[in-house]
Every structure is written in C-alpha cells, then in structure tokens.
C-alpha cells in the first residue's frame, strides 16, 4: 500500500523563538536528548525489569521516583501517561459513577473529560467573572460548602494550580487546608506548575497532585506525574488479585521508553530551575511590562502575573488587521519574519504566550518586535 506524506519535520518551531505556552517548558535538556538516543527503541527501559516499572534499577527508575517524591513533598509517586490520565486514575478510583466532585471554573478541559469518563458529576467554582478571572479560596469554600449541603457527600475537590487560559496561580495551600477541614479529598492539577515552581504536597495538605512531563518538565510526551499521600497509597496502588506483583490502576506499567528516560534525564535541571522560579517570574513580569507599554495591549488575568503563561488583550493588533491587505494574517507573518512563532495564524484580538526559559535579551527582542509591528502599521 501507498502511504501519505506525514510531513515529519518541525524545523520552524524548533529553530525560532516559540511563544506557544504548550511548548516552552517541555523543551528537552541536552541530557534528555542523549537519553533519547540511548532509549529511543520501543521497550527500551524494560531490559532489567523484574515485573514492576517503578522498581526497575537499570535505568534507575526506582531511585528517580524516590527523588521525585522528595521534590514534590509527596509520600508516593508514580508516572502516568500525562496529567489527564493521572486525574482520571484518581477520580475513577476515589469516586463511584453518579458521585459529584467540585472543580474550579478555570479547570482544563481534561478535568471535565476525566470526570465524564468516570461517570461523575461536576459542580464548578466560579471565577471572579472580571478580567482577573480569579479563583479565590473564599469562592471555593462557598461552593464546596454549598455542594456538601446540597449533595451530601463530595468525595473529591480539584483545583487547577495554574490555569491554561490566564496563567493564574491559585492558593494550593489554602485549598489543601480547606479540603482537610471539610473532609474532602483534594486533587491538585499542577500540569503548568510542577517543574516550574515549587510543589509541597504534604506541607499543603494535598492528597493527590498531578504534573505533566511534556508540559512543564522537559520530557518527551506523553508522561505525567502522580503524587499520592500515604493514606491513599494502599487503595490507589492496590495489587492485582490474580497477578499479585502488578498495580491495577496503572495496568501494571505506564511509561516504557522515551518519555520516562527524558523525564529522568532532565530532572536534575528541572530541580535546579524550580529553585530559580523567582528569577523566571521577574523576567516574565518585565516582558509583560514591556509589551503592555504599547497602547492597546493589556494583560488579562491576575496582575502582576504570577506565572510565565500570560494572556493579552490586543485591540490595537486587531485594528491593524482590519486595514491590512493580509487581514489577520499579517501578525503571524510579521512575527515569522522576525523568527518568532507560536501565535496562531490569523489571531489578533488576543493571544496567550509564554517566554519561559528565554534569556532577558530574547524577551526584550520579542517585546520590541511587537512594538515595531505596531509602529509600522498604526494609522
């Protein structure tokens, strides 16, 4: 049979400054590139497996999971196929079909899909409804208390640590304490957090936390992290009745190759960069300041931002589009000429972006590029 051409190159996205928030913190480290070479082949991590992925010693998956648990202050850690798969695993195991869970209103779509697949209902905590789109712990408390009054038992509450629309950072510690007080199991979705900023699951009284290797931990996709508090480990990591060495909820094993070795290889660099989160945030804030100096560009979400993912309203760029012969495409094309990619073709009314991991001069270059484009076309 004849195969199509699958266009398996990605030169432009790799070689230019990529503002797509999905892509910034998943860039491989040099160490991960080497690991990819070593372990690219199919079942590569399983040469020395005695039956449990989490106990493989060559490569040192067991030691890695110990380090990872320490890093996020959780009692147990397993890898999953991604944050969404981690959320599904928790919801599916903790809840029965027909149960109700509470989820913040800025949650990623996969939180809803995980709930839907597990057959549970969702009550939303509203965000502030203004341009800050903030999830406050007061709102969470009110919704959760009302939900308990109304439904009876709420088995699980989910909080998005950093949402993917505004990059708002929520109060994970306040959430953990609130859930503990109300006797509700807590799940923190830190897909945009873990690997960028510090996670202290036990200190924050969080029962389950998920992270994303491909989104925020410089690993090849797909891979996630699931942190588990001691009291839930027996249930969540229960062994099979027929195959007593295997963990049922993980179907025995999860990551068999490239994703886990790249996660492991990048891990020391990730630990180190999380220590420098304050510097990263300062650079992002300076970038936001530079960009919002342009009249007609404002930051949406909580200000000053507390994360590198930032959303901008850009009426000035949209005004230009209305008059430009290339319509909305001018912006994509002008940026591409300046070696900047990652903002969708045709989009000018608003955009979200991240400059995570870029140097200060790269960020300045990008902000100046926008200034030059606006300068070139306005009136």
Binding-site annotation: residue ranges for pyridoxal 5'-phosphate: 83-84, 189, 212-214
Comparing CB distances to its own copies, the nearer of 252 and 304 is 252
Query: Per CB under 8 A, does 261 bind its own copies?
Result: yes
Please say whether the beta carbons of 223 and 263 come within 8 A. Answer: yes
Binding positions for its own copies, 229-248, rule CB under 8 A: 240-243, 246, 248
Site for its own copies in 195-234 (CB under 8 A): 213-215, 218-222
Q: Looking only at residues 120 through 179 of this chain, which bind its own copies when binding is defined by CB under 8 A?
A: 122
Question: Considering the rule CB under 8 A, would residue 249 count as an interface residue with its own copies?
Answer: yes
Among 192, 208, 267, 312, interactor with its own copies by CB under 8 A: 267
Residue 35 or 94 with smaller CB distance to its own copies:
35
236 vs 302 by CB, closer to its own copies? 236
Q: Which stretch binds its own copies (CB under 8 A): 32-40, 145-153, 171-179, 323-331?
A: 32-40
Nearer of residues 275 and 361 to its own copies, judged by Cβ: 275
Residue selected from 19, 35, 95, 158 as contacting its own copies according to rule CB under 8 A: 35
Q: How far is the CB of 216 from its own copies (least distance, A)?
A: 8
- Within 330-369, which residues bind its own copies (CB under 8 A)? 342
Q: Is 44 in the site for its own copies (CB under 8 A)?
A: yes
Nearest approach in angstroms of CB 15 to its own copies is: 11
Determine, following the binding rule CB under 8 A, whether residue 193 of this chain makes contact with its own copies: no
The verdict on 33 binding its own copies (CB under 8 A) reads yes
322 is a site residue for its own copies (CB under 8 A): no
Among residue numbers 70 through 99, which ones bind its own copies (CB under 8 A)? 70-71, 81-82, 84-85, 88
Question: By rule CB under 8 A, what count of residues binds its own copies?
Answer: 91
């Amino acid at each position: 049979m004849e195969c199509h051409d699958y266009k398996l190159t990605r030169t432009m996205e790799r070689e230019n400054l990529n503002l797509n928030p999905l892509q910034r913190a998943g860039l491989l480290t040099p160490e991960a590139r080497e690991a990819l070479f070593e372990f690219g082949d199919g079942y590569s991590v399983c040469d020395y497996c005695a039956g449990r992925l989490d106990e493989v010693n060559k490569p040192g998956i067991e030691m890695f999971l110990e380090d990872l648990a320490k890093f996020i202050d959780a009692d147990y850690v397993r890898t999953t196929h991604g944050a969404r798969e981690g959320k599904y695993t928790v919801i599916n195991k903790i809840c029965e079909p027909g149960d109700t869970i509470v989820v913040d209103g800025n949650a990623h779509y996969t939180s809803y899909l995980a709930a839907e697949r597990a057959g549970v209902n969702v009550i939303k905590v509203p965000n502030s409804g203004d341009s800050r789109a903030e999830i406050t712990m007061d709102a969470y408390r009110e919704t959760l208390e009302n939900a308990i009054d109304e439904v009876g038992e709420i088995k699980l509450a989910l909080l998005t640590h950093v949402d993917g629309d505004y990059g708002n950072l929520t109060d994970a510690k306040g959430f953990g304490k609130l859930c503990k007080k109300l006797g509700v199991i807590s799940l923190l979705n830190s897909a945009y957090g873990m690997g960028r900023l510090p996670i202290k699951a036990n200190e924050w009284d969080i029962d389950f936390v998920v992270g994303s290797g491909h989104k925020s931990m410089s690993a090849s996709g797909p891979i996630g992290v699931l942190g588990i508090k001691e009291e839930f480990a027996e249930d969540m990591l229960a062994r099979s009745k027929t195959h007593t060495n295997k963990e049922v909820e993980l179907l025995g094993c999860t990551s068999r190759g490239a994703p886990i070795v790249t996660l492991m290889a990048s891990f020391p660099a990730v630990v180190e960069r999380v220590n420098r989160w304050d510097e990263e945030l300062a650079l992002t804030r300076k970038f936001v300041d530079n960009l919002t100096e342009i009249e007609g560009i404002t930051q949406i979400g909580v200000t000053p931002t507390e994360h590198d993912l930032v959303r901008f309203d850009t009426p000035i760029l949209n005004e230009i589009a209305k008059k430009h012969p290339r319509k909305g495409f001018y912006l994509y094309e002008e940026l591409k000429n300046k070696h900047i990619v990652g903002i969708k073709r045709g989009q000018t009314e608003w955009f979200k972006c991240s400059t995570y991991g870029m140097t200060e001069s790269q960020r300045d270059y990008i902000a100046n590029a926008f200034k030059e484009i606006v300068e070139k076309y306005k009136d």
